[in-house]
Structures are given as C-alpha cells and as structure tokens.
Chain A
Amino acid sequence: NAGVMQNPRHLVRRRGQEARLRCSPMKGHSHVYWYRQLPEEGLKFMVYLQKENIIDESGMPKERFSAEFPKEGPSILRIQQVVRGDSAAYFCASSPTDSNQPQHFGDGTRLSIL
C-alpha cells in the first residue's frame, strides 16, 4: 500500500517562473490537503480539496496560488510568478473521508527560489 506520494522532492525555480507540485493521495483516499512549512515553523493550512471540488481555500494566498484535484490524476498545487518568499516545504496529506479523520502526509516538496 503506497503512501501519499509527492513529487518532485526538491524543486528549484527562478523568480518569475511557475512551480507545479504534485500529490497522489493514498489509495482509497478522496480528500487532499496542502500545507506550507517555513524553516523552524509549524504547518500552515493552505487548501482542502475533494475530487473536482475545492472545499476550503481560506489558507491559500489569493494571488498566484491555485490548486486542483481532477477526477483522474494527482492533485496539483500551482504557484505562478514565484518570489523568494515562496521558498518553503509544501506538504500534501490525504484522508479517506472528511477532515475529522487522521491525515496521512507525504514527504513534501522543498521549493527553493533563486
């Protein structure tokens, strides 16, 4: 049973480029969550998605950031026109049903902006 798979593990982008982070949830999980973690800090909620629906995006910046979880394929967190402040570890988690259930995390994508 594969866990939550995130790729790439490390991503380097120059300022102004686009970053695409992928997350494949655990088998049988239809709920996906994205978090951002800055060095020496905790996990900050960004967005909660079900298949083809955004349930809660209150933690995601209004500009440049978007997320999707299509019917087929992984969930994508997209950051357009990246800036230095976007450098962080981005974690994806999944759960089988609602958000009250324990979430299982991937190992994250470490985004570095040059």
Chain B
Amino acid sequence: GQQLNQSPQSMFIQEGEDVSMNCTSSSIFNTWLWYKQDPGEGPVLLIALYKAGELTSNGRLTAQFGITRKDSFLNISASIPSDVGIYFCRHGSSNTGKLIFGQGTTLQVKP
C-alpha cells in the first residue's frame, strides 16, 4: 500500500536554530500538506502545496513540493519554544478519502 516516509523521526534543537524535515513517497501525488499537532490537540494545517516545484511560505515556515511530485520538505527558521510539537506531512487523492499521513516528526526546542 501507499506509504509516506517522514524524517527525521525526532529532533531536539536549540532555540534560534533552523529546522528541516521531509517526506518521500514511491508514488506521485497532486497535493502535499503539512500539519502541526500540539499535545492534547488536533492537527492544524500549516501549509498546502498543489503544484510540483511550488515553494510556499507562512511566516517562519517554508515548504516545497518536489519536482518529481514524490517528496516535500518543510523548513522552520529561527525556531522558538512554541514550535514544539509533532509535524505531519500528508498527501491527498481526489478519488478516495484514504489520505495517508507521515509518521510524524517530533520537534523539541531547548530555550
């Protein structure tokens, strides 16, 4: 079945550092989305990508849809303590609702 490989699984960084995480798949997709989940809450959409090669920013966050349509990365610049959480990538298909999420990247930021 379809799988997303998200890496790294976890990161422990110093406040102010930049962070990069990515998702790869063996299949081609038309949509990549990145979510963040805070403890005890539901995932919140950060960035949505709909076009191969697309580079989109949201504040200190930047995400890119890979040219091959098989991967995406998310960068966070100048990390702050509130960036702590689990980041998930997701692809989408309009044919069914079976949407696959990556395993998540757990980010911890040391003040």
Q: What residues of chain A have their CB less than 8 Å away from a CB belonging to chain B?
A: 4, 6, 31, 33, 35, 41-45, 47-48, 55-56, 58-59, 91, 93, 98-108
B13-21, B38-46, B56-64: which lies at the interface: B38-46
Instruction: Establish whether residues B43 and A43, one from each chain, have CB atoms under 8 Å apart when the complex forms.
Output: yes
Instruction: Establish whether residues A99 and B99, one from each chain, have CB atoms under 8 Å apart when the complex forms.
Output: yes
- Interface on chain B toward A: helix, strand, loop, or mixed SS? loop
Would you give the shortest CB distance from A90 to chain B, in whole angstroms? 10
Q: For chain B residues 79-111, which have a beta carbon within 8 Å of chain A?
A: 88, 92-94, 96-104
Instruction: Name the B residues within 8 Å of A102 (CB-CB).
Output: 33, 45, 48
B26 is an interface residue with CB less than 8 A from chain A: no
Q: Find the A residue at minimum CB distance from B1.
A: A58
Please report the number of residue pairs spanning A and B whose Cβ atoms sit closer than 8 angstroms: 66
Instruction: Establish whether residues A43 and B88, one from each chain, have CB atoms under 8 Å apart when the complex forms.
Output: yes
Instruction: Establish whether residues A98 and B94, one from each chain, have CB atoms under 8 Å apart when the complex forms.
Output: yes
Would you give the shortest CB distance from A108 to chain B, in whole angstroms? 5
Instruction: Name the B residues within 8 Å of A93 (CB-CB).
Output: 42
Instruction: Name the A residues within 8 Å of B40 (CB-CB).
Output: 107
Instruction: Name the A residues within 8 Å of B33 (CB-CB).
Output: 102
Which residue, of B88, B97, B98, B100, has the highest number of chain A Cβ atoms within 10 A?
B97
Instruction: Establish whether residues B97 and A106, one from each chain, have CB atoms under 8 Å apart when the complex forms.
Output: no
Q: Cα distance A43–B94 when bound, in Å?
A: 19
Would you give the shortest CB distance from B27 to chain A, in whole angstroms? 15
Would you give the shortest CB distance from A18 to chain B, in whole angstroms? 24
Nearest 4 A-B pairs (CB), nearest first?
A48-B97, A105-B42, A100-B94, A99-B97
Would you give the shortest CB distance from B39 to chain A, in whole angstroms? 11
B30 is an interface residue with CB less than 8 A from chain A: yes
Q: CB within 8 A of A91: which of B43, B94, B100, B104?
A: B43
Which residue, of A43, A45, A98, A102, has the highest number of chain B Cβ atoms within 10 A?
A43
Would you give the shortest CB distance from B109 to chain A, in whole angstroms? 19
B31 is an interface residue with CB less than 8 A from chain A: yes
